[in-house]
């Protein structure tokens, strides 16, 4: 079982009445709903206004893959929590940042760049797959279309993705690296640009497929329990001579 936690800021839901029509159970509800249909996923939701912002240690430390949606309230996520989330990734957890989470604290911590971009609401987007052999592209055709998305345009200030999976074309003339993968520590990071709060993007079957694929891709492989730099006093050659070996990363 992959233990999935969907974290949502859950503020637009209160502030924008028309969101109710698109996402009656909130973005987290919509995400949890289709992810929950996968037999090998165990899905929880967590939101900013819950105790410990939805992420007490017992939740964080039992999460294999997290999804993160935030927008207007990035600043309300405490720095220590953002650090904890990022460190959990370095220790092995997978994380998927959705749309405006490009400006969330954990994403910025993990990228090391400004994550700036250009933006404009209400655009037609065509999402092209440029890496059809990538696990996140499984079942995705050459492109799929979103009648209305928020345009995010280059220059997107991110480290060059380890794997670029999707490029987004916008009718207004812009384009964007819309689906990007990175390794960070023992964990994996996927950023996916579609997902503005008032668009039915997360009801789109291709988007759902991408995110299901991404959870499986981001599943932890190995875990690490600390992030220190230990002195290796005894050379591993000497350890070898003594029949010893290293077991921890």
Closest to its own copies by CB, 51 or 230:
230
For the bound state, the minimum distance from the C-beta of residue 148 to its own copies, rounded and expressed in Å, comes to 14
The reply to whether 117 sits near its own copies by the rule CB under 8 A is yes
Helix (H, G, I), strand (E, B) or coil at 127: strand
Which span sits near its own copies by CB under 8 A: 23-31, 41-49, 104-112, 195-203? Answer: 104-112
- Specify whether the CB–CB gap between 170 and 150 falls below 8 A: no
Which span sits near its own copies by CB under 8 A: 23-31, 41-49, 60-68, 160-168? Answer: 160-168
- Residues 163 to 192: which contact its own copies by CB under 8 A? 163-164, 167, 169-175, 177, 182-188
- Residues 214 to 233: which contact its own copies by CB under 8 A? 220-222, 224, 227-233
For the bound state, the minimum distance from the C-beta of residue 199 to its own copies, rounded and expressed in Å, comes to 17
Question: What is each CA distance from 189 to 122, 136, 162, 211, 218, in whole angstroms?
Answer: 27, 12, 10, 12, 7
Q: For residue 142, how far is the Cα from the chain centroid? A: 23
Phi and psi at residue 166, to the nearest 5°? -130, 140
The reply to whether 236 sits near its own copies by the rule CB under 8 A is yes
For residue 190 the two structure tokens come to 């996927």
Show the beta-strand stretches assigned E in 130-225.
143-153, 163-170, 175-184, 187-192
For the bound state, the minimum distance from the C-beta of residue 45 to its own copies, rounded and expressed in Å, comes to 26
Among 14, 61, 62, 113, binds its own copies (CB under 8 A): 113
For the bound state, the minimum distance from the C-beta of residue 71 to its own copies, rounded and expressed in Å, comes to 12
- Residues 62 to 91: which contact its own copies by CB under 8 A? 86-87, 90
For the bound state, the minimum distance from the C-beta of residue 29 to its own copies, rounded and expressed in Å, comes to 28
Taking the C-alpha atoms of residue 211 and residue 67, their distance in angstroms, rounded to an integer, is 9
- Specify whether the CB–CB gap between 87 and 129 falls below 8 A: no
What are the residues facing 187 on neighbouring strands? 184
Taking the C-alpha atoms of residue 185 and residue 93, their distance in angstroms, rounded to an integer, is 9
The reply to whether 1 sits near its own copies by the rule CB under 8 A is no
Closest to its own copies by CB, 13 or 150:
150
Taking the C-alpha atoms of residue 201 and residue 60, their distance in angstroms, rounded to an integer, is 27
Which span sits near its own copies by CB under 8 A: 33-41, 60-68, 117-125, 195-203? Answer: 117-125
- Residues 127 to 146: which contact its own copies by CB under 8 A? 128-135, 137-145
117-127 as b/e, with b when 16 or more CB fall inside 10 Å?
Answer: beeeeebebbb
For the bound state, the minimum distance from the C-beta of residue 14 to its own copies, rounded and expressed in Å, comes to 23
- Specify whether the CB–CB gap between 67 and 211 falls below 8 A: yes
The reply to whether 33 sits near its own copies by the rule CB under 8 A is no
């Amino acid at each position: 079982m992959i233990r999935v936690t969907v974290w949502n800021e859950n503020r637009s839901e209160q502030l924008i009445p028309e969101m109710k029509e698109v996402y009656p159970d909130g973005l987290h509800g919509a995400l949890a709903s289709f992810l929950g249909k996968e037999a090998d996923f165990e899905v929880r939701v967590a939101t900013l206004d819950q105790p410990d912002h939805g992420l007490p240690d017992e939740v964080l430390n039992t999460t294999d893959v997290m999804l993160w949606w935030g927008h207007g309230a990035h600043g309300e996520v405490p720095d220590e929590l953002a650090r904890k989330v990022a460190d959990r990734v370095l220790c092995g957890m997978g994380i998927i940042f959705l749309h405006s989470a490009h400006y969330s604290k954990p994403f910025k911590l993990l990228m090391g760049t400004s994550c700036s971009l250009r933006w404009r609401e209400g655009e037609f987007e065509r999402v092209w797959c440029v890496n059809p052999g990538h696990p996140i592209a499984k079942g995705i055709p050459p492109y799929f279309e979103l009648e209305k998305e928020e345009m995010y345009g280059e220059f997107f200030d991110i480290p060059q993705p380890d794997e670029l999976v999707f490029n987004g074309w916008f009718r207004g003339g812009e384009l964007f690296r819309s689906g990007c993968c990175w390794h960070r520590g023992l964990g994996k990071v996927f950023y996916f640009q579609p997902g503005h709060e008032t668009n039915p993007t997360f009801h789109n079957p291709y988007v759902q497929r991408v995110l299901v694929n991404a959870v499986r891709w981001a599943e932890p492989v190995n875990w690490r329990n600390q992030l220190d730099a230990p002195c290796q006093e005894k050379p591993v050659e000497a350890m070898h001579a003594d029949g010893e070996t290293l077991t921890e990363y």
